[in-house]
Amino acid sequence: MGWHCLDLFAGSGALGFEAASRGAAQVVLVEQDRLACVALRANAQRLGAEGVTVRQVQAHEWLETSGTTYDLIFLDPPFDSEEMSRVWSASSTHLRPGGWIYCESSRGMSESDLWREVRCTKVGQARLQLFQRR
């Protein structure tokens, strides 16, 4: 695949590690919790995931300071977090043309001039959506 991926609100890193296992060239896991970052680094080492980098920082801070662009961004914030709308709008500057955003949220996000919804599934209270940048 060779993609560059960003996993915001990485938590366990499941989405990012899955991307790495499917051939992503680079995966950046962004998580604010220190203990979660310790576990993420240990798991990356255990898995031999050389292209995986862990950053301990809040998602919106990463987006404000990083100039990197990605092919795929995962957004999976804690439910009812106010962070989703904040990072949703900031994510567009970090996505390459034609890039993808996968998000899991309780509210769901809307299509716009910038985003085309490709898929939407509801699982329990979660809305799983895949968008492509226009």
Give the per-residue pLDDT at 84: 83
19: Cα separation from own chain's centroid:
11
The 10s digit of each residue's pLDDT in 48-81 is: 999 999 999 999 999 999 999 999 999 999 877 7
Q: Answer whether 10's CB lies under 8 Å from 36's CB.
A: yes
Query: What is the gyration radius of the CA atoms in the chain, in angstroms?
Result: 14
Question: Cα–Cα distance between 16 and 54 in angstroms, integer?
Answer: 10
102: Cα separation from own chain's centroid:
7
CATH class of the region 4-133 = alpha beta
Give the other-Cβ count within 10 Å of 83's Cβ: 16
Question: Cα–Cα distance between 48 and 46 in angstroms, integer?
Answer: 6
Give the per-residue pLDDT at 89: 84
Question: Cα–Cα distance between 71 and 24 in angstroms, integer?
Answer: 10
Per-residue pLDDT of the chain (134 residues; tens, 9 = 90+): 799 999 999 999 999 999 999 999 999 999 999 999 999 999 999 999 999 999 999 999 999 999 999 999 999 998 777 788 889 889 989 999 999 999 998 888 887 888 899 999 999 999 999 999 98
Give the per-residue pLDDT at 108: 80
Give the per-residue pLDDT at 113: 80
Give the per-residue pLDDT at 94: 95
